[in-house]
Amino acid sequence: MATIDYDVTPGGALQGSLRVPGDKSISHRSVILSALAQGESRISGLLEGEDVLGTVAAFRALGVAIDGPDKGHLRVQGVGLHGLQAPRAPLDFGNSGTAMRLMAGLLCAQPFSSELIGDQSLMSRPMARVALPLQRMGAQIDTAGGGRPPLAIRGGARLTGIRYEMPVASAQVKSAILLAGLYAQGETTVVEPAPSRDHTERMLAGFGYPVERMGRAVTVRGGAGPLRAGTLEVPADLSSAAFFLVAGSIVPGSRLVLARVGINPTRTGVIDILRAMGARIDVQRETIVNGEPVADLLVEASTLRGVAVDPALVPLAIDEFPILFVAAACAEGTTVVRGARELRVKESDRLAVMAQGLTALGIRVEEFEDGLAITGGPLRGGVVDSGGDHRIAMAFAVAAHRAQGPVRVRDCRNVATSFPGFDGLARAVGMHIRVSGS
């Protein structure tokens, strides 16, 4: 398989307006629920990254007619909750843990069997935390050694609703259980120890399916009605915007406007953390789109300072920590993040890979089992390895713009899973980034 590296030369101020690709979490869910709805749904703003395209391919394999995507537009002919067909081969979700976990919840309720696989990275990631609560509901689902993929799901299981107290806040696990709960007898309730992304709950309600929310508990009742097709707009992804929020904050003289970004309150931890560090981020032109809050974000360069990150914000910024660690490296003083053990089981061990990369660029890092302490200082040039992790690759590309010399970021091919065209947008606002392949 071809590899891709980023070669980044430090540069000056970043300027301009841009729109980053559609929200990945919402894109996945819009495809899933549109497929389960009755009638045709039209989606705009869809992220055309490899992860979401894998979800589209999976539903085609499950007998759903889908037109597109074409410039972010997708038409889905929903088959209803009971209209999926047995796939003829294992469903391959590539690098997407989100897709595999959510689809496990959906597929364990179907009358047919299925097998879920992925790439080398995904096949090493833990799936027991999804499989165990689904098994409690009656699902017939088996994992490989260590609770890892492939997932073998035997069809025809009768599911019963449960009340599940989650040990760790996870929108993926919560969503998998709620999707299974659409088919289960009685009520299915998920109780979170801390807030996590609530896109699934919002979107189910938008499709007309009743959802009850009380505090940190979310409840659905099986067979409570059909999902009704509709028109959906996917807002720009805050996780993708975060790279430019940090870039605009750490590069002197910079001013960037990011258009129509989703600012769901379960996702805005990255903004709260950056503001606590002294970032100048202004939320403008707020509106509501399909139940999701959307706004333009203006960021201007500022002097960041190290902080002890509030543990309550960690689940609200879990995907943004690679770029937040770069912000910490450029801040005055020390930033401490604890309670982020979840980062060790993402597309890479993000704590270890970020610590190694920042150290290679001359930053002092202390690594804990559940976090990092990063002392800001000058970034030197050099070579870092992304570990094949898309968010780490982009984070170090941003860091390189502030370095004292050129930086090569290795193994960046997976950036296409979440942010196709990242390098082009980066160049458009003033970054000096060159893509090389072998």
CB 169 within 8 A of CB 192: yes
Residues 69 and 55 grouped into a single domain = yes
Residue 79 region by backbone torsions, left for phi larger than 0, else alpha for psi between -120 and 50, else beta: alpha
End position of a domain, from candidates 217, 233, 249: 233
Is-catalytic flag, 319? yes
- Look at residues 380, 267, 379 and name the one whose alpha carbon lies nearest to residue 329: 379
3-state secondary structure the chain: CCCEEEEEECCCCCEEEECCCECHHHHHHHHHHHHHCEEEEEEECCCCCHHHHHHHHHHHHCCCEEEEEECCEEEEEEECCCCCCCCCCCEECCCCHHHHHHHHHHHCCCCCCEEEECCCCHHHCCCHHHHHHHHHCCCEEEEEHHHEEEEEEECCCCCECCEEECCCCCHHHHHHHHHHHCCCECEEEEECCCCCCCHHHHHHHHCCCCCEEECCEEEEECCCCCCECCEEECCECHHHHHHHHHHHHHCCCCEEEEEEEECCCCCCHHHHHHHHCCCEEEEEEEEEECCEEEEEEEEECCCCECCECCHHHCHHHHHHHHHHHHHHHCCECEEEECCCHHHHHCCCCHHHHHHHHHHHCCCEEEEECCEEEEECCCCCCEEEECCCCHHHHHHHHHHHHCCCCCEEEECCHHHHHCCCCHHHHHHHCCCEEEEEEC
Residues 173 and 207 grouped into a single domain = yes
Residues 332 and 358 grouped into a single domain = yes
User: Residue 418: what pLDDT?
Assistant: 87
Please say if the pLDDT value at position 26 is more than 90.
yes
**Structural domains of the chain, count:** 2
Q: What is the CATH number of the domain that holds 346?
A: 3.65.10.10
- Look at residues 141, 133, 219, 144 and name the one whose alpha carbon lies nearest to residue 182: 219
> What pLDDT digit, counting tens, does each position of 320-339 carry?
999 999 999 999 999 999 99
Whose structure tokens read 């391919």? 57
Residues 216 and 263 grouped into a single domain = no
Average pLDDT over residues 227-245: 97
Average pLDDT over residues 121-131: 93
The chain-wide mean pLDDT, for the chain, equals 96
Backbone angles phi, psi at 67, to 5 degrees: -105, 130
Q: How confident is the model at residue 432 (pLDDT cuts 50, 70, 90)?
A: very high
User: Residue 121: what pLDDT?
Assistant: 87
User: Residue 3: what pLDDT?
Assistant: 85
User: Residue 195: what pLDDT?
Assistant: 87
In angstroms, the CA 81 to CA 53 distance is 21
User: Residue 290: what pLDDT?
Assistant: 87
End position of a domain, from candidates 175, 208, 233: 233
User: Residue 245: what pLDDT?
Assistant: 98
Residue 335 in tokens:
């930033």
> What pLDDT digit, counting tens, does each position of 245-278 carry?
999 999 999 999 999 999 999 999 999 999 999 9
Residue 68 region by backbone torsions, left for phi larger than 0, else alpha for psi between -120 and 50, else beta: left
Please say if the pLDDT value at position 48 is more than 70.
yes
Residues 30 and 89 grouped into a single domain = yes
What contacts 274, CB < 8 A, 6 or more positions away? 245, 246, 249, 281, 304, 324, 327
Residue 135 in tokens:
């098994």
Cβ atoms < 10 Å from Cβ of 328: 31
What contacts 215, CB < 8 A, 6 or more positions away? none
- Look at residues 145, 134, 92, 75 and name the one whose alpha carbon lies nearest to residue 110: 134
Please say if the pLDDT value at position 229 is more than 70.
yes
Q: How confident is the model at residue 437 (pLDDT cuts 50, 70, 90)?
A: confident
Residues 242 and 223 grouped into a single domain = no
End position of a domain, from candidates 174, 209, 233: 233
The amino acid present at 21, given as its one-letter code, is P
What's the order of all strands across the beta sheet hosting 148-154? 91-92, 114-117, 148-154, 140-144
Please say if the pLDDT value at position 438 is more than 70.
no
Average pLDDT over residues 88-95: 95
Average pLDDT over residues 358-381: 98
Residues 394 and 272 grouped into a single domain = yes
User: Residue 169: what pLDDT?
Assistant: 86
Residues 63 and 168 grouped into a single domain = yes
Average pLDDT over residues 368-374: 98
Residues 70 and 171 grouped into a single domain = yes
Cβ atoms < 10 Å from Cβ of 199: 23
Residues 305 and 158 grouped into a single domain = no
| Choice among 92, 198, 319, 423 that is catalytic | 319
The boundaries of the domain holding residue 319 are 4-22+235-437
Please say if the pLDDT value at position 141 is more than 60.
yes
Residues 219 and 115 grouped into a single domain = yes
Residues 245 and 370 grouped into a single domain = yes
CB 8 within 8 A of CB 400: yes
Please say if the pLDDT value at position 296 is more than 60.
yes
